[in-house]
Structure 1
């Protein structure tokens, strides 16, 4: 999972240092919240999720890796949705 994510985001420094699934999930969480973007330029969680799925779909990852990445993003999106409803 970590290797697949690193292949998707090769040009990001923070990605190369990921060692655990917990760190991976934290990065995806931040990615969906668009925390790496200036607050006034941030996109919605749904837009970031859609962009991530498009990136995964257009990647050279195997079908199995793509499915696993989509599932991981979906899980993190659901966590964020649950947090918003609390």
Structure 2
């Protein structure tokens, strides 16, 4: 799943350094919480999830990778 994430976000800072499932989940949590954006312009978690799921759906990843990544994003968003 790490490789699928890297393909989905090829230019994302730090994506190439992810080496474990735990690191991947932490990176997704940071993305969904919009932690790298200034607090006044942060988007709600639901909106960030919707955008990520759309990007996954529209990507050229294999269907199995799309399903796995989507499920992981949803699982992390529920935390």
Same structural fold, with TM-score higher than 0.5 when normalized by the shorter chain? yes
Cα offset, 1:13, TM superposition = 2.1
| Structure index of larger Rg | 1
Counterpart of 2:53 in structure 1 is 53
Cα offset, 1:30, TM superposition = 0.5
- 1:19 matches 2:19: yes
Give the structure, 1 or 2, with the largest relative contact order (CA under 8 Å, sep 6 or more): 2
Counterpart of 2:76 in structure 1 is 76
Cα RMSD (Å): 0.6
Q: Which runs of 4+ in 1 moved over 4 A?
A: none
Structure 2 spans left out of the alignment, 5+ residues: none
Where 1:13 maps in the other structure, the secondary structure is coil
Question: TM (normalized to structure 1)?
Answer: 0.89
